[in-house]
Amino acid sequence: MDPEGKRTGTIKGAMTNRTKYFLLNLRILLQLWRDGRLTVKKIVNAVFCYAAYLLRLERSGVLPLMMIVETWNECNERCMFCRTADGVIYDNNPSASPPCIEKGKLDTALFDMVIDEVKDHILMAVLYINGEPFIYKDIFRCIQKCSDSHIGTVIASNGILLTQEVSRRVHEAGLNFLKVHVSGFTQECHCVQHRVGNIETIKQNLRDFAEISRQSTHKTILMVDYILYKHNQHELPLFRSFCEDLGLMFNVRPGFPRNMEQGEALAAEQRAEDFSRVPCDWLWKVLTLNFNGDLLPCCACTVWSSPPRYQRYEPGKTSIIRMWNGEKARAMRRQHARQGRVIPICSRCSMRGISFRF
């Protein structure tokens, strides 16, 4: 028996010792404070959002404490659980006929208008949902816009395009946090879930990022997110050691075995807990902006055809402040508070809290 747990390849040891998001959140908040992005107004708004959720109030803060933005839902990795080999995004709405998730890019002028409206209250902007953010040519402009507006920024990447130039531009734009997901230390394991991408290229990109970060004034926090399955659990200690040598944060999360069900029962075992009666935090704390301007209750709505939405953002007409505590938003909170997750899209969700989904 391994007394440390985290050095074993067992599922139990890995999951027990995975990085706690609390410590990560604390580190990011300290960075926001140091960079002048954490104000009294934002803290008060965040506290009210949390209190409103705990008290199950219909009205939340003035604005959400976080905004999730779909910059472009195209991806260069084509993971098994996300899309087909041809790049078609899976539609999670079982009633969709035919299933169809539209692809598109966010207009930067629309993004600027939204950020200008919410910048005094939100703490963080998460600039990805279903796509690879480094494919979107305006991603650095969006990060810079948030930095200039004193908003913290988060993105997640598969690491394929994290070249030396990209790493430098990420630091120069002031990105606060970057998550890079992997699912194996060798190509044989990594490519089981990810149809495209070379793990050796990704590891070299991580080495280069760590070196560039050491030389940069602004320190973007990078965390390697190891997606755990039965087929790759034996390589977990290798990637943990790799990250320790580079001084990078390391986290482990359970995989989503869609299209790999025959060999993977891990995720199903870990999703057995029932949250159907637990109201979703996102309705009180987070707002999602889709590439087409739709303002949505959560990120899951972007892969659900005909999702529930608050409204579509119209320049010069839409007020996000009014919308955030408008009738549609209050009605969803009221329904969750009284009945739980009875809405079809919500009934299929096991998320709790506002940490990373993928």
Query: Between 164-173 and 139-148, two packed helices, what is the crossing angle to 10 degrees?
Result: 20
Tell me if residue 54 falls in helix, strand or coil.
Answer: helix
Q: Say what the pLDDT of residue 256 is.
A: 83
CA distance 71 to 292: 9
Q: Which of 72, 129, 101, 128 is nearest to 306 (CA)?
A: 101
**Alpha-carbon 8 to chain mean position:** 28
* Helix extents (H) in the chain: 11-16, 21-34, 40-54, 108-118, 139-148, 164-173, 187-193, 199-215, 236-246, 266-270, 282-285, 320-324, 327-339, 344-347
229: its two tokens: 């399955």
Structure confidence at residue 266 (pLDDT)? 46
CA-CA distances (angstroms) from residue 98 to 90, 95, 111, 120, 305?
A: 11, 9, 30, 41, 10
CA 23, CA 223: separation in Å to the nearest integer?
A: 12
DSSP code for 185: S
Judge contact between 157 and 126, C-beta under 8 A.
no
Predicted pLDDT at 325? 98
- What are the 10-residue block averages of pLDDT along the chain, 358 residues in total? 38 42 84 94 98 98 98 94 91 86 97 98 97 97 98 97 98 97 96 94 98 95 95 96 97 85 54 78 98 97 94 96 98 97 90 73
231 beta partners:
none
Q: Is residue 68 within 8 Å of residue 288, measured between CB atoms?
A: yes
SS3 288: strand
Say how far apart CA 58 and CA 329 lie, in whole Å: 8
DSSP string, 95-135: T-SS------B--HHHHHHHHHHHTTT-SEEE--SSS-GGG
Instruction: Give the pLDDT of residue 5.
Output: 39
**Residue 165 identity (one-letter amino acid):** E
- d(CA 178, CA 93) in angstroms, rounded, equals 30
pTM, two decimals, is 0.90
